[in-house]
């Protein structure tokens, strides 16, 4: 039985519901089950990693009272760290790399909860014909700033390093356990946008151990300048690689890597809003698009599980597929 009264917003992180898509899958023998991660307190799955990264850093002594948490983000991790970090008593500074009005909206959201935000808008983003955004690439200047200020801080700055922090993956071991409980361990395919790789890596690791035959599909934006393939060498640096490097080095973890256009992701997102009444963000549309593609390829009955990663309120002024 769930608690009637919770002691803080931190207790509301995780244990998100799972919903079957009915109208989108009408007439199909297969089904798509969506875990509603946008029902986490700050509106995205990133609350899970924010809490675990901070908690573990406190335990290890890396994060000390009075320190400032810094991170480079296209928005969701930035807002999650702002919300969770402020609730846990820390100052937070985010280098926000989402372009245009959307970046300004997210800046306002983070400032509303007490974070300091530095906008770092990519210079060439408006010239891109493909409007999807690869966060692992546009976040690089912000990561460099995080690295620099941490090196100069004498312990007063702690960089969360979501792209390389093991807690990004390990927090999603719990997400995977929730999926297994909600499906009674019966699923055929798991689909998820890659981003920094934490959710794909963490969930796939646990699912593969429990259900060795489950197929894992990872999605990348079509705008990416660095298409990924399983088994490829993707070197690690102080600001690049990290979890994605580990994921690509393990060809047994992700069975298929695919790319999606902004147009495809947005089209399915609108269908989800209008037909299912689920108010998710555009990465959720990307996930459901490829869940449906997998069903179309199969001659059998499939149960496909995916995540609805964030809320539609992230996309009021500019709808883009952002990982």
Q: Which residues are catalytic?
A: 46
CA–CA distance, 65 with 249 (Å, rounded to integer): 37
- Tokens 């429990």 sit on residue: 210
Buried b (16+ CB within 10 A) or exposed e, 219-236: bbbbbbeeebebeeebee
CA 306, distance to chain mean position in Å, is: 12
Burial grade of 28 (CB within 10 A; 0-12, 13-18, 19 or more): middle
- Tokens 């928005």 sit on residue: 75
Say if CB 291 and CB 189 are below 8 A apart.
Answer: yes
CA–CA distance, 321 with 27 (Å, rounded to integer): 28
Q: Token pair for residue 79?
A: 């807002």
């Amino acid at each position: 039985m769930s608690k009637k009264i919770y002691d803080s917003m931190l207790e509301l992180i995780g244990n998100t519901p799972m919903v079957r898509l009915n109208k989108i899958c009408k007439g199909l023998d297969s089904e798509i089950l969506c875990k509603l991660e946008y029902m986490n307190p700050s509106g995205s799955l990133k609350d899970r990693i924010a809490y675990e990264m901070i908690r573990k850093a406190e335990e290890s002594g890396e994060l000390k009272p009075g320190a400032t948490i810094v991170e480079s983000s296209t928005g969701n991790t930035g807002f999650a760290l702002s919300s969770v970090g402020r609730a846990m008593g820390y100052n937070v500074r985010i280098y926000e790399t989402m372009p245009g009005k959307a970046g300004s909206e997210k800046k306002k959201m983070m400032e509303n909860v007490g974070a300091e935000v530095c906008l770092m808008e990519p210079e060439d983003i408006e010239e891109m014909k493909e409007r999807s955004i690869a966060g692992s690439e546009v976040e690089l200047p912000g990561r460099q700033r995080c690295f620099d200020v941490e090196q100069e801080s004498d312990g007063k700055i702690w960089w969360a390093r979501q792209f390389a922090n093991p807690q990004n993956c390990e927090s999603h071991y719990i997400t995977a356990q929730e999926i297994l409980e909600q499906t009674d361990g019966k699923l055929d395919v798991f689909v998820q946008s890659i981003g920094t790789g934490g959710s794909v890596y963490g969930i796939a690791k646990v699912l593969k151990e429990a259900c060795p035959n489950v197929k894992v599909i990872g999605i990348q934006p079509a705008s990416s300048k660095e298409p990924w393939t399983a088994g490829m060498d993707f070197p690690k640096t102080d600001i690049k690689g990290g979890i994605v490097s580990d994921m690509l080095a393990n060809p047994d973890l992700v069975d298929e890597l695919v790319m999606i256009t902004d147009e495809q992701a947005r089209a399915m997102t609108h269908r989800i809003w209008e037909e299912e009444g689920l108010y998710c963000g555009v990465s959720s549309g990307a996930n459901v698009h490829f869940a449906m593609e997998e069903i179309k390829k199969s001659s059998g009955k499939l149960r496909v599980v995916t995540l609805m990663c964030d809320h539609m309120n992230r996309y009021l002024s500019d709808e883009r597929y952002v990982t």
